[in-house]
Amino acid sequence: MKNQEFKEHLHEYSQWRGQLIQAIEMYQEWRRRYGMNDIHSTDTLLHILNGLETDRITLAFVAEFSRGKTELINALFFAESGLRLLPSSPGRTTMSPTELFYDEQGGSYIRLLNIESRLEDISLTEYKKYPERWTQIDLDCESPTQMQQAFRELIATKTVPREVADKLGLWNERQAAEQGIIDPETVEIPCWRHAMISFPHPLLKEGLAILDTPGLNALGTEPELTLNMLPSAQAIIFVLAADTGVTKSDLEMWRNHVRSARGETKQGLAVVMNKIDAMWDDLSGEAGYEGSIKSQITTSASILKIDEAAIFPVSAKQALLAKVKADETLLERSRLGALENYLSADILQQRRHILIDTIKRDIGFLVSESSNLTDSKLNNAAKQLEEFKKVDFDNHDMTAKLMAETRDRQQHYMINVENFQASRRVFGVQAKILVDSLAKEKIDEIIKQTREDMSKSLTTYGMKQNISKLFDDLRDLLQDAVDTTHETRRLIKAIHKKFQDEYGFKEIEPQLFSIKQYQFELEHIFEEGEAFRSSAKTTMTEQSIVINKLYSTLIYKARNVLKQAHADATHWSNSVLTPLMHQIKDHKKQIENRLHMLKKINQSKNSVAENIAALEQELVPLKKQRSELATIIKAMNLEANFTER
C-alpha cells in the first residue's frame, strides 16, 4: 500500500469526524430552538465538541536504541521529501522523546525543552502550557534541507561533569562499567529532554500525531511517557531488530512500559521486526530466508506472549530507499505494505469505535431524553386530538365538565410541584455531601502530608511506605464517596418514581453517578507506579531522583483523576434532575394548552370541524421537531427507538 492510500484513509476519517462534529452542532441548535437548552447540557456538548475538534490519531513508536525505529517513521510517513527527514544514522539516534504534529495556530517549528528541566518538579504536561520555557527553531517548509538540518538538533549532546549527569538521572555506574567506562570525570548527555515538532505535512494536517520515544533509559527516567503519553496513544508500535530478536532490554521495555500501557486489551498494539534485510542471503535462497523470518517471528511471539499475526517483518531502510527511488519491487520486498494496511485500516477503525462509544457515554443520555420528551409531546397532542374528536362540543355541560377536570388537574399539579421542590432541596443537601467528599482541599491535604513525610525519609523503603500510605488514604477517600453515592442514587430514583406514578410520566431511567471508573483508573495508576518503581532500570538509577520524579508524576495523574471525579459529581448533581424538570415543564404546558383549546372551541363561532382541523394543524410542528431529531440521531451514528409517523 502506498503512502497516498494511507493519506486517503486518514482523510476519510477526518471527514467522518467533521460530519460527526456537524451533527452534534445541529443537535445543540435543535435543543436551543425547541427550548430544551440548559447550561449543563450546553457544557456537556461543548466539551465533546472540543474533544472531537482537537482529536488526533497518535501513533507511538517505542524501541531500544539501534532498532531502526526512526528510519521506520521516515519510511512510513516522510519518504516523499526525498530525504531522511528525521535524523537516523548508525550510532546517532533521537536522544529525546519527540512529538510530531501540526499546530495550525503556532505554525512550523521545533520546540526543545532543556535537559536541566528534569531537576524541577514540573510535569511535561505543565511545561507545554508555557512555550516561553522552550527553545524554538522555526522551520522553512519550502526547504527540506533546512528542515533536515534543524531536525539534527534532536540528536544533540553535550558533555557535563559526572555529578551533574548523576543528578539528572543520566549516569548509571553499572552500565558504564559493562562498557569499560570506569570513574569518568565527564559524561556525554542529551541536550534536550523533550521535543515538539509542528509542520504542515499532509498526514499531520489530517490529524496524525507521532510520538518517537528513545530507548529504555528515557522511559526509565521520564515516567510521564509510560504513565500518560503511551497509554493515550491510539497505537503503540514496538520495534525489534530481526537479527537480534527479543533481547533482555527489549523484554524489560515490553513488560514494564509497553504492555502495561495497553492495560487488559491488546488493541492498538503491534510489533515490528525491523531489519529483515540483514537476513537476506543468496546462498540459502528464498525458502531459507522465509524460514528464518518465520522462526524469528514464532520465537518472538512466544517470548512476548502475543499472536504471531501482530508481528510485522519489515525492512525500513529498504522501504525508504524504495519509496525515494520509486522502486516497486524493492518496496514489496521491504514488506512495509502490511504494516501500512494495519495502521490505516485497523487503527483508524478502532478510533472510530472509541469516539462513537465516547459520544454514547457522554451525550447518549441527552439524546435519549430529547427523543423521549419529543415522543411524549407528540403522543399526548395526538391523544388529546382524538379525545376532542369524540366530544360533543354542542353539549355545554360536557365542555364545562372537561374544563373543570382540567383545572382540577392544574391545581393538583401545582401542589405536587411544591412537593418536588422540597424533594429537590433534600437532594441538594445530599448532593453537596457527595461533591464535598471529593473536594480538592481534602485531596490536597492528604497529598501535602505525604510529601512532607517523604521529604523526611532518607531511604527508598521509607519513601515506598509513605507512597503506599498515600495510595491507601486516596482509596479510603474514594470509598467514602462510594457510600455517599449509593445514598444519593437511592434518593434520585425515588424522586423519579414519584412523578412516574403520580403523573404517568414516560419512564426515564435517571442517569446515575458511579465512582467505579475512578477507582479503576486510580488502581491502574498505583499498579503502574509499583511496576515502574521496581523495574531493573529504575533500581539501577539514583533512587532519590527516580522516585521523586516517578511519584511526582503519579501524584499529578492521581490528582487529575480525583479532580475529574469531583467535576463529574458536581456536573451530575446539577444536571440529573434536568430531564425531569423538562417533563414537568412540558406537563404544565399540556394542561395550559388543553384549557386554551377548550376555551377556544367553546367560544368559537366556527364549526367544530374547522376547530378540529386547526388542532390537527398544530401537530405539524411537533412532527417536524421529531423528524429533525431522527435525522440528527442518524447523523451522529447513535441508535434510538425512533419511528417516523
pLDDT tens-digit series, residues 281-320: 655 667 778 888 999 999 999 999 999 999 999 999 999 9
The whole-model pTM stands at 0.75
Instruction: Quote the pLDDT of residue 642.
Output: 41
Instruction: Quote the pLDDT of residue 280.
Output: 75
| d(C-alpha 302, C-alpha 308), whole Å | 8
| d(C-alpha 406, C-alpha 410), whole Å | 6
For residue 192, pLDDT over 80 is answered with yes
Average pLDDT, the chain: 81
Q: Which cell goes with 28?
A: 445543540
Q: Looking at residues 492-510, what average pLDDT do you find?
A: 71
Q: Looking at residues 15-20, what average pLDDT do you find?
A: 92
Least confident of 209-223, 426-440, 449-463, 596-610: 596-610
Alpha helix ranges (H) inside 197-283: 202-205, 216-221, 223-224, 230-232, 248-253
For residue 9, pLDDT over 80 is answered with yes
pLDDT band, very low/low/confident/very high, at 77 (cuts 50, 70, 90): confident
For residue 578, pLDDT over 90 is answered with no
| d(C-alpha 537, C-alpha 217), whole Å | 7
Query: Best-predicted range by mean pLDDT among 164-168, 215-219, 603-607, 608-612?
Result: 164-168
For 77, other C-beta atoms within 10 Å of its C-beta total 24
| d(C-alpha 388, C-alpha 613), whole Å | 11
| d(C-alpha 227, C-alpha 553), whole Å | 8
CA-CA distances (angstroms) from residue 179 to 173, 175, 183?
A: 10, 7, 12
Helix (H) / strand (E) containing 370: helix 348-390
Q: What is the assigned CATH class of domain 56-169+188-334? A: alpha beta
pLDDT band, very low/low/confident/very high, at 469 (cuts 50, 70, 90): confident
Q: Where do you find CATH 3.40.50.300 in the chain? A: 56-169+188-334
Percentage, residues of the chain above pLDDT 70: 84
The alpha carbon dihedral of 516, 350, 103, 62 has a sign of positive
Checking DSSP bridges between strand 98-101 and strand 208-213, what pairing results, if any? antiparallel
Instruction: Quote the pLDDT of residue 426.
Output: 83
Instruction: Quote the pLDDT of residue 644.
Output: 40
